[in-house]
């Protein structure tokens, strides 16, 4: 067994070369090759801790050249399923066709663990060899969610996507509630460009069936960590992205559904995307919802409600808009000024002039100056 200091030095050396592209761009250096060979022996050493061997597999995966193929292929037959799965993923780099037979064997071996099969399917998808596409399409029907996800990514979003069946695979990926939310949202965004009724129907099914994600807004000004967490949750909010997609495809048939989700009490992002969709669709049916959302806790949603009412061009909404001139958030105050000016009712001029005397936010002041120049005296 080599000493841990030598292992650490070898790892740093190999990773640094790989990160700088030396492994792929120039002939192997003798000392790099020596380090890789030594690490390959370590990887095969059954007496080493599993965590240490997994680290070695990940290093080889980052190296991603034929120099590490042999030890990774050998590891595909290791007794530990964790190592087999890690080795399968490590062998998955674009164009690595030499690994296809061994990966196919892992994917098709009866009794192999689902995690290893999923890793092998994922690697085959990344490699992108057309000869494996039939296997991957069949794997989209696998009872294991991990295998299905790897297969669906490959044929819907990955290099083996085919226009003849891509839409069907994207719909299945978007609708499968057992799969990763971020990946499903990627599928939804890809489907927006497909102008077919089955896509609209899929979006509506998702909005109807998907459980809303309760998102708790932080009290006071959010920290950077809280903002990042909110963005992470939003990125995987499948129902919200599907609601937004219904607006992008201008689905009038979704109006009743969106009127409901625009007031979903726990998922503010679903409300936000539904309001955005309602603005895109237009129509007086949304006016009561827009007026109620003027009291939404999220400033962005209050601003969207103002935009929606402005688009309806109904001066009867002026009374509902006026209180937003005193909103605590300058974004909302700015939008309220723009909305009132757009409706063009001269009776609001004294209110805007009074606000101008007391306002300190530069964006609101700019909106006020523009509004007052447009409104009749």
pLDDT at 12: 44
Burial class of 329 by CB neighbour count within 10 A (0 to 12, 13 to 18, 19+): middle
Task: With beta carbons less than 8 A apart as the criterion, state whether 103 and 135 touch.
Answer: no
Task: With beta carbons less than 8 A apart as the criterion, state whether 340 and 318 touch.
Answer: yes
330: Cα separation from own chain's centroid? 29
Give the Cβ contact number of residue 284 at 10 Å.
Answer: 8
pLDDT at 30: 60
Which one-letter DSSP state was computed for residue 302?
A: H
CA distance 362 to 5: 59
Give the Cβ contact number of residue 268 at 10 Å.
Answer: 24
Task: With beta carbons less than 8 A apart as the criterion, state whether 106 and 92 touch.
Answer: no
Q: Which pair of structure tokens corresponds to residue 28?
A: 């192997």
The pair phi, psi for residue 282, each rounded to 5°, is: 70, 180
pLDDT at 377: 76
SS3 328: coil
pLDDT at 6: 36
pLDDT at 219: 80
pLDDT at 87: 97
Question: Structure pTM?
Answer: 0.86
Q: Which residues, given as ranges, of the chain have pLDDT below 50? A: 1-29
The packing angle between helices 268-281 and 299-312, to 10°, is 20
CA distance 232 to 267: 14
Which one-letter DSSP state was computed for residue 132?
A: G
Long-range own/partner contacts, residues 320-328 (CB < 8 A, 24 or more apart): 320/291, 320/294, 321/294, 322/348, 322/351, 323/294, 324/294, 325/351, 325/352, 325/355, 327/299, 327/302
What is the tens place of the pLDDT at every residue in 6-61?
A: 344 444 444 444 444 434 444 444 677 788 888 889 899 999 999 999 999 999 99
CA distance 359 to 356: 5
Which one-letter DSSP state was computed for residue 76?
A: T
In percent, the amount of the chain with pLDDT more than 70 equals 92
* Cα dist from 77 to 57, 64, 117, 256, 333, whole Å: 13, 19, 13, 55, 64
Which one-letter DSSP state was computed for residue 315?
A: G
């Amino acid at each position: 067994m080599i000493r841990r200091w030598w292992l650490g030095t070898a790892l740093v050396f190999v990773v640094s070369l790989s990160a700088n592209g030396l492994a792929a761009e120039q002939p192997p250096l003798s000392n790099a090759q020596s380090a890789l060979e030594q690490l390959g022996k370590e990887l095969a050493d059954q007496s080493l801790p599993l965590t240490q061997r997994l680290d070695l597999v990940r290093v080889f995966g980052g190296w991603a050249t034929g120099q590490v193929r042999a030890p990774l292929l050998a590891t595909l037959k290791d007794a530990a399923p964790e190592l087999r799965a890690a080795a399968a993923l490590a062998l998955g780099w674009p164009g690595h066709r030499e690994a296809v037979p061994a990966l196919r064997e892992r994917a098709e071996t009866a009794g192999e663990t689902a995690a290893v099969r999923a890793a092998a399917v994922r690697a085959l998808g990344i490699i992108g060899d057309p000869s494996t596409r039939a296997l991957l399409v069949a794997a989209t029907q696998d009872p294991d969610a991990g295998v299905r996800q790897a297969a669906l990514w490959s044929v819907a979003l990955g290099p083996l996507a085919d226009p003849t069946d891509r839409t069907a695979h994207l719909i299945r990926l978007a609708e499968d509630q057992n799969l990763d939310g971020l990946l499903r949202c990627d599928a939804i965004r890809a489907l927006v460009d497909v102008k077919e009724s089955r896509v609209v129907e899929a979006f509506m099914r998702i909005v109807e069936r998907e459980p809303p994600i309760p998102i708790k807004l932080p009290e006071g000004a959010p920290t950077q960590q809280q903002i990042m967490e909110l963005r992470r949750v939003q990125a995987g909010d499948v129902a919200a992205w599907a609601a937004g997609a219904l607006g992008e495809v201008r689905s009038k048939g979704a109006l009743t559904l969106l009127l409901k989700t625009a007031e979903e009490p726990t998922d503010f992002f679903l409300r936000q995307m539904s309001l955005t969709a309602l603005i895109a669709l237009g129509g007086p049916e949304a006016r009561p919802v827009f007026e109620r959302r003027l009291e939404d806790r999220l400033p962005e949603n209050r601003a969207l409600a103002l935009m929606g009412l402005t688009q309806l061009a109904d001066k009867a909404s002026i009374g509902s808009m006026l209180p937003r001139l005193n909103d605590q958030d300058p974004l909302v105050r700015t939008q309220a000024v723009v909305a009132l000016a757009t409706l063009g009712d001269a009776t609001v001029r004294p209110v805007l002039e009074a606000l101008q005397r007391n306002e300190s936010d530069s964006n609101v002041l700019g909106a006020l100056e523009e509004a007052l120049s447009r409104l009749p005296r």
